[in-house]
Structure formats: structure tokens, C-alpha cells
Amino acid sequence: MPTAQSSTDDKLLETLGGRIKAVRTARGLKLGAVAAHIKLSRTSLSQWEANAVRNPDVEKLGAFVELTNVNLDWLIKREGEDPDLAPAQTRRRRASNRAAAMTSGDTGALPAESPIPEVAPLLSVHAAEINLTPRALWVIPHQVLEIGFNTVADRTVIKRIVTRSSPEFGLSRGDYILIDTSRQRIDEPGIYIVADVEGRSACRVLIVEKGDNLEIAVFSDDLQRSYPQATVDNLIPLGRVMGVFKPA
């Protein structure tokens, strides 16, 4: 059964379009970014949200629920409990409170563990900087972060790969990457998240060694665009990928 909502929220959630809009805005996702991800025009997605389309494409709805981590039956028919649709600021505050409780031991978690935020999967959300609004929290032992991944908790975020697999990066759809947001200088080979030179989306870039120099081997974003004009010197790093978690 649906959980209690404010009257405005409840009215919005009565329709498919309202639920799509409520989920998208609660997740802090831009209309154009979501439309591009599910391979729909911005105008068409806007029409979905306005309930101007009677039967939206189920495959594209499936891509939407995978992106936003909601149940398809709930989205289409509002079956089951409503997901957490609190504004991003509220979710950020809750996450901060949970993190403080975990690190202080109030929840019984081991002091040697830290909560790591899982951030929005779309690179377009992180165009100028990594948006730290958490979608979920991972609890990872300090020693795993420091010894296994050469990073520390307060610098680290986790992001899911929801675009098509990128074998050139060694990444597959569904993988989770661990990003050290303090690595804002390209000084060694590896995969980096960098600010898009066009200001529309963050990008993945694979840096390799060529002789004594570092060069770009692969450069792409969620839309699989390429940037031949980019060089290592004009990239703006937002973080370096320190590890990959493969789903079981």
C-alpha cells in the first residue's frame, strides 16, 4: 500500500506522469539528461510527465526505473510502497545524520567502517563537479579503502555504470566504480572522471603512458560522444576511479 504523503505529493503520484516527474526531481536528475539516457527526446519526456502520452514505451520505462531505482509495477500502477521521494536536500541531511551515527557507533556499526555515498549514475549530473547527493550508503571498512583502494572515506564516492558496457574502459553495465574525488590532478595512468569541455556532462577518460608522457586513450560520456580536441593538459579532473565492484 502507498505510504503517507503530503496532499500535494499524493495528488502528483496519482498519475503515471506525475510519478515519473516526482521520481526524477527527487533524484535530482535533469529532464534532458534522463531523456538522453532512456533514448527519448526532451519534449517527449516532458509530455510523459504532463500525461499527454497514453501508453509510454515500456522498454523506455524500464530504462527509467533502472536509472532511478524504483519498482516498475509501482511506477506504472502504483503497486506497493511509495519510494523515498524526499527532496535532495532532505536526503542529503538524512545521509549526513546516518553517517554521523555510524561513525560514532550509535547504530552498532564497527568504528573501523565508514559510510560511502552512492551518487547519481548519470555523468550529466556531475558536469562541473561530483554531485555528492547520496542515493544510498555503502559501509566499507577503512582498511579496505586505504589498503585495497588507496583512498579514504571522506574523499570517496561510488557510482553505478548504467550506460552500455565500455570494454575499452574495462567496465560493464551494472558495475559500480569507486571514485576518489580528491584526485584532481592527472599524474598517473588510469580512468578519470573529468569535467566536460562543453559544460554539458562529465566524461570518462582513460589515460595511458606513452614513453615519458601521459596521453588520452579513450574519452567519452553517457552519450558516447568523442572529444578529439581534448588533451591531458586541458582536462579538469573531478576524481579518479580507484576500483570496480562487479555485481554477483
Domain 7-77: CATH superfamily is lambda repressor-like DNA-binding domains (1.10.260.40)
According to DSSP, residue 15 is labeled S
The helix (run of H) or strand (run of E) holding residue 104 is helix 88-104
CB neighbours of 176 closer than 8 A, spacing ≥ 6?
118, 158, 159, 160, 161, 244, 245, 247
pLDDT by residue for the chain (248 residues), tens only, comes to: 454 444 446 788 999 999 999 998 888 788 888 888 888 999 999 999 999 998 899 999 999 998 888 999 999 999 988 887 876 555 555 555 555 555 555 544 444 778 899 999 988 889 888 988 888 899 999 889 999 999 989 899 999 998 877 788 899 989 999 999 999 999 999 999 998 777 778 889 999 999 889 999 988 877 666 665 678 888 899 999 999 999 87
Q: Where are the domains of the chain?
A: 7-77, 113-245
CATH 3.10.20.30 for domain 113-245, yes or no, is: no
What are the CA-CA distances from residue 232 to residues 41, 169, 185, 191, 237 (Å)? 33, 17, 10, 12, 10
According to DSSP, residue 234 is labeled G
State residue 238's pLDDT score: 95
Residue closest to 35 by CA, chosen among 16, 63, 55: 63
State residue 245's pLDDT score: 94
State residue 4's pLDDT score: 43
The pairing of beta strand 156-160 with beta strand 113-119: parallel
pTM above threshold 0.85: no
**What confidence tens digit (pLDDT) does each residue in 172-200 have?**
989 999 999 999 999 999 999 998 777 77
What DSSP letter does each residue of 28-82 carry, written as one string? T--HHHHHHHTT--HHHHHHHHTT--SS--HHHHHHHHHHHT--HHHHHH--SPP
